[in-house]
Structure 1
C-alpha cells in the first residue's frame, strides 16, 4: 500500500528530503504532497501532487490542514510552518487518520522556538555550555548589556530571540569603517554599536533581542535522528568550512554533547543541534526541532535521516547504519523543471 506524505510550506531543500525518502533502501513506496503560497516553489517539484497554500493563521490554518488531510487521505504530515500550532492540535489530526512528525512535548517545543526560554531551561544542568547573553527590550537595556559583555572581554553580537536561521543576526564591530568603501564592498553582517543604539532608540520598546558573546571558533551543525520516544539513534557533526565546503567529522566531544541533549530533552525524529566554539569550548547556538537545511549533505554519511525519521514517525523499527565520517562535501545549483507534476486542479479534472 502506497502511503501519502504531505510537507507544508517547506524551504527549497525539501526537494532533497522528498527524493531521499522516495529513493529509500527498503523500496517502500510513498506518494508526496506539497503545498506553498507560491505554486512554482521548487520544493513542490519533487512532489507528486502540489497545491497552493492559503496565507492564513491560527484556527483557520488548522482547518485548512485538516481538510487537506481528509481530502487526500494523508498518512503523515511533516510540518515546517506553524509547528507549534499543529502540535497543539495533534489529536485532531489523529482523528482524521493522519500522523504528524513533530515534537508533541508542547513545553519543550515552545522553548526550542524561543532562544531565551531554551537557554534558561538548559542553564546549570550540565548538558551544554550556554554563551553569555542578555535579553533586552529597550535601547538602555541594550547599552547596558553591551557594556557588561565588552567589559568581560567579549566581542558582541545580537539576534532576535525568535527567528529562523540567520535572520536578524548582526555582529557589533569595534571600530567604524569607511562608509564609502563599505558601500562598494560586500554586504556584511557587521554594524556598529552607535548605529544600532540610534535605531533602537527610535522606539520606546522593541521585540526581544538577545545580546550575546560572539563565538569565534568553528561552527558545527549536528544532525540527529531519534525514535518517537526521543532515544538517539544517530548523530553526525557537520563542520562549516570555507565557502560552501562542509566536513562530516567524528568528534567524541560533540557526539557526547548530542547524547546529553537527547537524554535530557527527548526530541523525537529528526532534529539539529547548532554549536560554535569559543576559546576551545563548544557553546549552543540553537536546536531546530526539524530537519536542517543542510541535512541532505549529512546524508552522504550513509544515514538516510529523512527516511529513517519517517519510519520512526510510523512507529516502525529503524536499522541505522554506522555513519561514515571524514567526508568533505559541497553542493552546486541544479536546474529543475517545474511543469511535470500534477496540481490539485489537474487531479480534479477542472
Structure 2
C-alpha cells in the first residue's frame, strides 16, 4: 500500500465515533490517513481523534448535501463516512461519485426505505421468511392506537410502542398496566407509562407520525454487527448480547448467524450494519436493522475484526476476505479522560 495519506472525512456522529476513527487510524495494514471531522459542537469528543476539524452549520436536506459536497471539494476528500444526514448524502450519491469521493454507506435509496422504516422492514422480513417478527400494528390516530393496544392486550401480551422512523430508542415507551405516577415521580426516569397517559397524549391531535404498537419482547437482547463487501457479501457477523450492566458477550449463536446470512443474502447491505433481535422464550424476534455502524461496535471489534477500517479499505477498492471472529468474549467499556486540545487523542 502507498505511504501517501488517504483523506477521509467523518461527519457529525455520537461520542463512540471517537473509537471508530481511531480504529481506522491504527489499522493493521499500516495504511496512512489524514482524518477530517465535523460536528455542530466544536468541543465534541469525536473531533479529538481527527487531524482537521470544522464546525458544521445547522442545515438539513439538500442544503446539507450541498455543504458535504463543498466540504469534499475544499479538502479533496477521498473517502466520506457519513453518519448524521446519511439520507441527504445518499440522495446526492451521484454527485459524490463524479467528484471521485467514495461513500462508506449503503447508497441504494429504495433499500434504505425498506430497512430503516420499521414497518416496511417487518413486512419485508415476514414476507421473505428472513426472521420472525413480533405481533405488531401500525397506527396513525388515537383510536387506531386504542384498537391496537386492546388487541395485543387481549392476546395476553405486554405492549410497547415506538415511532417507525426513529433510532437509538427515541420515542420508545412501555405500557405498564400497574403504572403508579406517584411512585414513578420518586423513582429513576423510565420508558414506562400508563395506557391512559399514552392515549391522552395521542388524542391531542387528529393524526400523528406512524407508530408501531407491538408485543414487548422480554428475553435476551442481541445486536449482530455485520461486515459486508460493497456487493453485500457477508464477511463477518458477531452477535453481541447484553449480559447485565455494561457487559456484552460476543457469542457464537448458530441460529443468529444463520439469520445474519439470510439477511445479507436478501438485502445485500454493504459495509457495516447491525441487526437487533430479542428473544421471546426460545424464539429470536426481529427488532430492527441499522444500515450503519452500531453504538456498541467498538466492543465487537475486540473479536479481532476491525469493522470500521475494513469497510473503508473495501471502499478504496481493496479486497477483504471473510473474517474469523473470536467468540466467547465478555466485554465492557469504561469512560476515558481526553484532553480537548493539542495533538489528536489516540
| TM class by smaller structure | over 0.9
Matches within 5 A, 1:127-276: 127-177=130-180, 179-276=181-278
Query: Which residue is equivalent to 1:91?
Result: 94
Partner of 1:125: 128
TM-score, normalisation: structure 2 = 0.96
What's the counterpart of residue 104 of structure 1?
Answer: 107
Aligned to 1:73: 76
Aligned equivalents of 1:132 and 1:3: distance in 2?
47
TM-fit CA distance, 1:341: 4.9
- Cα distance per residue 1:294-345 (max 9 Å; x no partner): 0000001011111111111112111454111111111111111111258xxx
Q: Would the aligned equivalents of 2:235 and 2:321 in 1 still touch at CA under 8 Å?
A: no
Paired position in structure 1 for 2:299? 297
Q: Contact 1:226–1:233 at 8 Å: present in 2 too? A: yes
Query: What does residue range 333-344 of structure 1 map to in structure 2 within 5 Å?
Result: 333-341=335-343
| C-alpha RMSD of the superposition | 1.1
CA contact (8 A) 1:49 1:341 kept: no
**8 A contact 1:136–1:208 mirrored in 2:** yes
Whether the aligned pair in 1 keeps the contact of 2:175 and 2:192 (CA below 8 Å) is yes
Distance (whole Å) between structure 1 residues aligned to residue 294 and residue 179 of structure 2: 35
The count of aligned residue pairs is 341
Measure, in 1, the Cα distance between the counterparts of 2:258 and 2:240: 15
Superposition map of 1:28-39 within 5 A: 28-39=31-42
Moved more, 232-241 or 330-339: 330-339
Deviant stretches of 4+, over 4 Å:
none
**Distance in 1 of aligned mates of 2:74 and 2:257:** 43
Q: Is the 8 A contact 1:50 1:341 kept in 2?
A: no
Give the alignment's TM-score, normalised by structure 1: 0.95
Residue of structure 2 in register with 1:325 after alignment: 327
**C-alpha separation between the residues in 1 aligned to 2:204 and 2:218?**
31
Match of 2:118 among 115, 119, 129: 115
What residue ranges of structure 1 are gaps of 5+ in the alignment?
343-350
| Equivalent in the alignment of 1:345 | none
Determine helix, strand or coil for the equivalent of 2:105. Answer: coil
What stretches of structure 2 of length at least 5 have no aligned partner? none
Output the CA distance in 2 between the equivalents of 1:310 and 1:224.
14
SS of the aligned residue for 1:338 comes to coil
- Given that 1:84 and 1:110 are in contact with CA atoms closer than 8 Å, whether structure 2 keeps it comes out as no
Query: What does residue 348 of structure 1 align with?
Result: none
Change (3 A) 1:68 1:341: farther
